[in-house]
Amino acid sequence: MKPVTRARSAWRTRRAPFRCLGDNGGVPLDTAASAELFARARAVTPGGVNSPVRAFNAVGGTPRFIRSAAGAWLTDHDGNEYVDLICSWGPMLLGHAHPEVMAAVQTAVARGTSYGAPTEPEVELAEEIVARTPVERVRFVSSGTEATMSAIRLARGFTGRDVVVKFAGCYHGHVDPLLASAGSGLATFAVPGTPGVPASSTELTLVLPYNDRTAVEQVFAEHGDRIACLITEAAPGNMGVVPPEAGFNAFLAETCTKHGALFVSDEVMTGFRASRQGQWGLDGAVEGWRPDLVTFGKVMGGGFPAAAFGGRADVMGHLAPEGPVYQAGTLSGNPVATTAGLTTLRLATEEVYDHVGRAADVVKTAAAEALTAAGVSHTVQSTGTMFSVFLTEGPVRDFDDASRTSAAGYAAFFHAMLERHVYLPPSAYEAWFLSSAHDDRAVQTVVDALPHAARAAAAAMGGEA
Ligand SMILES: *Cc1c(COP(=O)(O)O)cnc(C)c1O
C-alpha cells in the first residue's frame, strides 16, 4: 500500500516536481494505432466496442485502445499515458495491476480456472461481504446485470407480486424491466427505452423522479398491494452523482416495509466504493435500518467478472436449492474472480478510503475552481469518495436536473483533458473514479489540466456559460 502513505502529506503543499505531461505545447496526441484498431473493431463488432459507453459517440473522436495499465495510469496502443479517472467504471479501487492482487490471481490461476464445484474463495468472499454490509446471505453471479435481474426475480417470487418501482436516471444493468428511463449509456445517447424490450416487460415497471417522496407515497397508495419491490441505486451514480437527500433511503425502506414490498438497494457502483461499507455505511449503518436485498458488483470483483446479490436470510432462503426461485450460473463464484475480489476487499482498509477521499477532494475542488475561473455554470456533487461534475447550475436532485448538463461543454472539456493525459468518462452522465494508486503525480496532472479544460468548455458553451 505504498502510494497511500507516500501521497498523504503532499498534495496541497507541493507543486509538481515531476515532468508535467500536460505541457505538450498543444501538439495533439498520436492516435494512429487506436484509429486502426477501431476500424478493425467496427468491422467485426457493432460500433467497435463491447459496451456502448466505451465508444466516444457522445464526445466525438477516436476511442483509445488500451494496451496496459498500472497504478493510476493507462497506456494506449500509441504509447500515450493517461491518468485514469474511470478506473474501469469503478472496480479498480486499488488502481491497476496491484501487486498483491496480481500475485493472488496468479496463484489461483495456477490451480485451474473453473471447476463447476464449490470452492474456498467463494466462502471467504461471502463472509467478507456479510461482515461489511447489511446482508445475511449472498449469492454470486458474474455481472451487476445478473445481480439486479436475480434480485428482482427473487423479490417477485418471495412476495408473489409483479410490479417493480424504479427511479428515472437510475441504471441497474441491461435488465429488460429495468431499462425504462435508465441512466448510464441510455442517458448518454438519449435513448428513452430500447427496442427489443416487450411492452409487457416494462408495463410492470413504474418509474418515478428521484428524491421525490410525494411521488413514492402516491405510487404506493395506489399500487401498494401489487408492488414486489422498489429498486434504487443506493446513491445514483449513473446520471452523474445525485446523492439521496437526508433520510431518503430510510424513507424508502420504511415505505416498502409498510406495504409488504421489498427494498432493493443497488450498490453495484457504490458498494465498497463510496465507503468501506458502501453507501449503506453513510446512511443505513448510521441511521439503523437495513435494505431487504442488496446488489453488488464492480469493486467486489477486483477487475474480474464477479457480482452478487444478498440480503435477509428468510428472503434469500427462497432461492434454489434452498427454495423454489430458480437462479444459476456456470461461472458464478469463479475461483479466480472471487480470489481477486477477496484480495481487493481485504486490502481496502479505512486508510484506502481516506486516501481515495482526499484525492477526490483535491480533484473536485480544483475542477470547481477552474470552472468558476472560466465562468462556466457548474455543480460538483458527491457521496463518499464518488463525485461528478455537471455543467449546469445545481443542485441536481433528479434526472430532469441532470439532463440540463451541457453536452457540448462536456465534449470540449473531455477532449482538453484527454490531450493533457487525463482520461475522463466519455459521457457527461458518469461519476469520476479515483483509486489508492492516485498519488501526487497523477493528481497534479489532473489539477494542471483542469483550467485548460474549463476554458475549452467555456468556449464551446459560448453564450450558455
Ligand atoms: C454498473 C452497474 C450495474 C450493471 O453492472 P454490470 O456488471 O455492468 O452488468 C448495475 N447497477 C449499477 C448501479 C451499476 O452502476
Q: Whose C-alpha lies nearest to ligand 1, atom 10?
A: 172
User: Can you give the pLDDT at residue 6?
Assistant: 38
| 235: CATH | 3.40.640.10
CA distances in angstroms from 58 to 15, 44, 186, 403, listed in the order given: 34, 21, 11, 14
Domain hosting 404: range is 25-94+349-464
Residue 32 Cα to ligand 1 midpoint, Å, equals: 32
User: Can you give the pLDDT at residue 263?
Assistant: 98
CA distances in angstroms from 413 to 46, 86, 155, 210, listed in the order given: 27, 15, 42, 27
Ramachandran region of residue 20, left (φ > 0), alpha (ψ -120 to 50) or beta? Answer: beta
- Where among 347, 371, 393 does a domain terminate? 347
Element (H, E) at 30: none
User: Can you give the pLDDT at residue 189?
Assistant: 55
User: Can you give the pLDDT at residue 183?
Assistant: 67
Residue 13 has pLDDT above 70, yes or no: no
Residue 10 has pLDDT above 60, yes or no: no
Read off the pTM.
Answer: 0.93
Residue 54 Cα to ligand 1 midpoint, Å, equals: 14
Give the residues surrounding ligand 1 with Cβ less than 6 Å away.
Answer: 143-145, 148, 171-173, 233, 238, 266, 268-269, 297, 307
Please, which pLDDT band fits residue 198 given cuts at 50, 70 and 90? confident
Residue 45 has pLDDT above 60, yes or no: yes
Residue 173 Cα to ligand 1 midpoint, Å, equals: 5
Please, which pLDDT band fits residue 322 given cuts at 50, 70 and 90? very high
Q: For the ranges 25-29, 405-409, 449-453, which has the lowest average pLDDT?
A: 25-29
Please, which pLDDT band fits residue 202 given cuts at 50, 70 and 90? confident
Q: Is the same domain home to 199 and 127?
A: yes
Whether 13 maps to a domain, the answer reads no
User: Can you give the pLDDT at residue 128?
Assistant: 98
Please identify which of the residues 82, 171, 210, 429 carries the catalytic annotation.
Answer: 171
Residue 17 has pLDDT above 70, yes or no: no
Q: Which residues of 371-380 are buried (b: 16+ CB within 10 A; e: fewer)?
A: beebebbbbb
**What is the identity of the amino acid at 84?**
D
Residue 16 has pLDDT above 80, yes or no: no
Q: Is the same domain home to 195 and 277?
A: yes
Q: What is the pLDDT of residues 240-273, one digit of tens each?
A: 999 999 999 999 999 999 999 999 999 999 999 9
CA angle in degrees (0–180, nearest 5) for 359-57-183: 65
Whether 269 maps to a domain, the answer reads yes
Confirm whether 354 is a catalytic residue.
Answer: no
Q: What number does the ligand 1 atom closest to the CA of 89 have? A: 1
Whether 385 maps to a domain, the answer reads yes
Q: What is the DSSP string of 216-252?
A: HHHHHHHHGGGEEEEEEESS--BTB--PPPTTHHHHH
Q: Is the same domain home to 117 and 136?
A: yes
Please, which pLDDT band fits residue 180 given cuts at 50, 70 and 90? confident
User: Can you give the pLDDT at residue 3?
Assistant: 45
Residue 1 has pLDDT above 80, yes or no: no
Confirm whether 266 is a catalytic residue.
Answer: yes
- Where among 295, 321, 347 does a domain terminate? 347
Residue 7 has pLDDT above 60, yes or no: no
Q: Is the same domain home to 395 and 247?
A: no
From 140, 178, 179, 238, give the residue whose CB has the most ligand 1 atoms within 8 Å, as the site to mutate. Answer: 238
Taking Cα atoms as reference points, which of 162, 190, 166 lies closest to residue 180?
166
Q: What number does the ligand 1 atom closest to the CA of 148 have? A: 10
Q: What number does the ligand 1 atom closest to the CA of 269 have? A: 15
Taking Cα atoms as reference points, which of 457, 407, 409 lies closest to residue 429?
407
Q: Is the same domain home to 343 and 355?
A: no
Q: Whose C-alpha lies nearest to ligand 1, atom 5?
A: 144
Q: What is the pLDDT of residues 70-87, one digit of tens each?
A: 999 999 999 999 999 999
Please, which pLDDT band fits residue 192 given cuts at 50, 70 and 90? low
Q: Is the same domain home to 381 and 353?
A: yes
Q: Are 220 and 371 a contacting pair, CB within 8 Å?
A: no
Q: Is the same domain home to 379 and 448?
A: yes
Strand partners, 166: 207
Q: Whose C-alpha lies nearest to ligand 1, atom 15?
A: 269
Residue 170 Cα to ligand 1 midpoint, Å, equals: 10
Whether 72 maps to a domain, the answer reads yes
From 298, 304, 309, 427, give the residue whose CB has the most ligand 1 atoms within 8 Å, as the site to mutate. Answer: 298
Q: Is the same domain home to 380 and 365?
A: yes
Domain count, the chain: 2
Residue 2 has pLDDT above 80, yes or no: no
Residue 317 has pLDDT above 50, yes or no: yes
Residue 193 has pLDDT above 70, yes or no: no
Residue 354 has pLDDT above 80, yes or no: yes
- Where among 293, 322, 347 does a domain terminate? 347
Confirm whether 30 is a catalytic residue.
Answer: no
Q: For the ranges 102-111, 143-152, 168-177, 302-311, which has the lowest average pLDDT?
A: 168-177
Residue 46 Cα to ligand 1 midpoint, Å, equals: 21
